[in-house]
Amino acid sequence: MGKKRLGARHRFNKTNIERAPKRAGIYVVRNPRGATQYVGMSRNIRTRLKKHLNDESIPNASTYQTRTCRSSRRAANLERDYIKRYKPKYNILKNK
């Protein structure tokens, strides 16, 4: 079985977020230079991205990518792996 990757990059705006998946998974938010700003997981990616957009909790957010998962547990594991790999500016990884 091949390695799954993140989906295409989308602009971090209301129109594109309305098209985001309503499933469990992870999302990666990047700044205009393409650097990873934040990695998150959610049971409903669209709802979580809307929250970030509305409260402006990720400064300089320019684009996002998503990857859906079959379970929240798998999404949590992926989130941890992506945080370790990319060391995003706005994430804090707990040692577990």
pLDDT in tens, 20-69: 999 999 999 999 999 999 999 999 999 999 999 999 999 999 999 999 99
Residue 81 lies in a domain: yes
Strand partners of residue 62: none
Residue 92 lies in a domain: no
The token pair that represents 50 in the structure block = 């809307």
Range of the domain at 52: 10-86
Kindly report the CATH number assigned to the domain that includes residue 52.
3.40.1440.10
Number of domains the chain is built from: 1
**DSSP three-state, residue 50:** helix
Name the pLDDT band for 16 (thresholds 50, 70, 90): very high
Residue 24 lies in a domain: yes
Strand partners of residue 67: 26
